[in-house]
Amino acid sequence: MNLKRAIIKFLLYFVVFTGSNLVLKAIFIPDDLNFHDIVSTILTTSSISIGIVLVEYAMKKKS
């Protein structure tokens, strides 16, 4: 896996995780969705996405 493909995977994971998280929060906890929650969700999903992509990149590069 090259770096370009890793960046594309990160963006894909980030969009899917962030979108699904925000939709679920809007459905199940609509009163509690404010700016702080949105920023927190974006930071959490971006760190998870980076972690997944780094592990995949390291595993593919090793083999």
Inter-helix orientation angle 3-28/35-62, to 10°: 150
The tens digit of pLDDT for each residue in 7-23 reads 899 999 999 999 999 89
- What average pLDDT score do residues 46-56 get? 91
Structural domain span for residue 53 = 3-62
Half-sphere exposure of 37 (CA within 13 A, CB side): 12
Provide the whole-model pTM: 0.78
Q: Which residues lie below 8 Å from residue 61, measured CB to CB, with a gap of 6+? A: 1
The number of domains in the chain is 1
